A and B are shown apart, each in its own frame.
Chain A
Amino acid sequence: MRNRLLAFIGVLAAVVAMGLVVPAAGQAPKKYNAPKTPWGDPDLQGVWNDATSTPLQRPGNVGEKGVLSDEEAEEFQKSLEHDLTRDRRDGGGAADVNRAYNEHWMDARRLKITADRRTSLIVDPVDGRIPPLVAPSPERRRAQAARADGAARFAAGLPADFTDMSWPVRCVVRTDVPPYLPTIYNNNFQIFQSPGYVTIAPEMIHSARIIPVDGRPHLDKSLRQWLGDTRGHWEGSTLVVETTNFKSEEGVLFQGANPATFTITERFTRVAADAINYEFTLADPMTWTKPWTALIPWNKVDPDEQMFEYACHEDNFDMVHFLTGARLREKNGER
């Protein structure tokens, strides 16, 4: 299946060469005029869903193509669905246990590629890949290695204590830290607006970002927060959001970016009554050799669908189970 897809796409890629390019990120179709709030800001309010199977980075099996034809897209989607679906039991116990539950527990929308048939959510660089990592300083290398040791103990089922669990596993922060990326479920985001503010409440997990759009300056660099310090402004119908001042804990930011030098710029553009283009650019000279940008479509959910609370912490028995399991295995000499 994979090989056929590869050959098929390889031939087409050679013929079409660079004829097809990714549409300019964040660019709204000219004819659509976003509705306005009573106080005159573009209206982004509603519940939106960002689920998709289109991978962040372009997979090796699609060659250099940024956008697929209808036929190629169908095969691409089928191949991704095969990889992602939980309604399969092959691959042995290790793979099976990590699939956890069958598909009825999952967001079915995550099995579809984006409507624009792209091969990666990343639009810049044009190869659809995250730029090479910068070699970390000795100090960062030590911090990252300590975090990696904890993660390895956790993955082996032998966490030393709760700090070996990552921030997302501990329900401290998860997909509420930007950039917002699609996941297996709870892919909804509710946007609220009031004069001078835009608020984004993700369904996973519990923190809403309150974004001032009234022109006030950023907080002092010494004030650091889990979701960073966010300021927004309008450029035409696009909400541009710049966030910095993330907390200094290792392992909170995407790919272990360095909190002191990391910035994220997000652009929210309503491109149809039922669609927002969500584009983000990550920049951190301590982590990536150059900034990079991804574009993820947000689709308005059916009015019958609502946001649900995701109280990650309150009944999170898993933390106790992880630790009791580890202590018992130690006692049995499995360490």
Chain B
Amino acid sequence: MRTLQSLVVAGAALLVLAIAAPALSHHAFSAEFDANKPIKFKGTVTKMLWVNPHAWIYVDVKKPDGTVEEWMIETGTPNTLLRRGLTKESLPNGTEITVDGYQSKDGSRRANGRDLTLPNGQTLFLGSSGTGAPDEKKK
């Protein structure tokens, strides 16, 4: 009975895997970041690591007791931003950003930058349209 149950579960898992494979093949974010550890804080950009497959933004976060913690924020591929005409100089050191994302599963001070916003409320790197990307200029 137990074997049958295992077989059914394995079969279902395989089916799901087979169907979902193309969509998931890029990066299983939930394997790295914890959905139960949402974070939201303000930080000051100290470094931009402009690398593939994911760029990383380093921010200093001031805690209520005055101490400062360094966090690493994972973002997407720089290719997309380059295509939109943006470079790592587009986010100079000292910029204050609000980070809204999820902390890493190992509890270290790393998080994915689900949404990043500037002090004036503008979404960092602008939104999905009107970015000046070559493919959008003609529209």
Listed in ascending order, the chain A residues whose CB lies under 8 Å from chain B are: 56, 85, 87, 89, 92-94, 96-109, 133, 144-145, 147-149, 151-152, 154-157, 159, 166, 168-169, 171, 174-175, 181, 183-186, 203, 254-256, 301-302, 304-305, 308-312, 314-318, 321-322, 324-329
1/0 per position for B101-136, CB-CB distance to A under 8 A? Answer: 010111110101111000000011111110101111
The residues of A that contact B49 with a CB separation of less than 8 Å are 315
Of A144, A255, A309, which one neighbours B52 at CB under 8 angstroms? A309
A105-B110 contact, Cβ under 8 Å, with A98-B28, A325-B32 = no
CB <8 Å contact, A305 and B128: no
CB <8 Å contact, B13 and A152: yes
The residues of B that contact A254 with a CB separation of less than 8 Å are 21-22
Of A256, A312, A325, which one neighbours B105 at CB under 8 angstroms? A325
Of A92, A155, A316, which one neighbours B28 at CB under 8 angstroms? A155
The number of A-B residue pairs with CB atoms under 8 Å apart is 188
Residues of chain B from 64 to 108 with CB closer than 8 A to chain A in the complex: 75-84, 102, 104-108
CB <8 Å contact, A102 and B128: yes
A102-B115 contact, Cβ under 8 Å, with A302-B134, A318-B32 = yes
Which residue in chain B gives the minimum CB-CB distance to A51?
B135
The residues of B that contact A329 with a CB separation of less than 8 Å are 105-106
Which residue in chain B gives the minimum CB-CB distance to A109?
B135
Which residue in chain A gives the minimum CB-CB distance to B112?
A100
A108-B36 contact, Cβ under 8 Å, with A101-B113, A144-B14, A154-B31 = no
Interface size bracket, B side: 35 or more
CB <8 Å contact, B10 and A102: no
Which residue in chain B gives the minimum CB-CB distance to A184?
B26
Most buried by A among B76, B102, B136: B76
A56-B51 contact, Cβ under 8 Å, with A103-B127, A203-B79, A304-B134 = no
Which residue in chain B gives the minimum CB-CB distance to A104?
B125
CB <8 Å contact, B128 and A103: yes
The yes or no answer to B35 lying at the interface (CB within 8 A) is yes
CA distance A310 to B31 in the complex (A): 22
Most buried by B among A105, A108, A186, A203: A105
A185-B80 contact, Cβ under 8 Å, with A157-B105, A310-B52 = yes
Most buried by B among A99, A157, A169, A184: A157
The yes or no answer to B18 lying at the interface (CB within 8 A) is yes
28 contacts between A and B (CB under 8 A): A87-B128, A89-B115, A97-B102, A100-B27, A102-B114, A103-B127, A104-B124, A104-B128, A105-B76, A105-B80, A106-B80, A107-B80, A148-B14, A151-B17, A154-B31, A155-B30, A181-B22, A254-B21, A304-B134, A305-B83, A308-B78, A308-B83, A311-B53, A315-B54, A324-B108, A326-B105, A328-B105, A329-B105
Which residue in chain B gives the minimum CB-CB distance to A99?
B114
CB <8 Å contact, B38 and A311: no
Of A154, A156, A171, A324, which one neighbours B106 at CB under 8 angstroms? A324
Of A101, A104, A308, A328, which one neighbours B79 at CB under 8 angstroms? A308
CB <8 Å contact, A174 and B25: yes
A93-B105 contact, Cβ under 8 Å, with A155-B28, A185-B80, A312-B53 = no
Of B26, B77, B135, which one neighbours A301 at CB under 8 angstroms? B135
CB <8 Å contact, A166 and B134: no
The residues of B that contact A185 with a CB separation of less than 8 Å are 76-77, 79-80
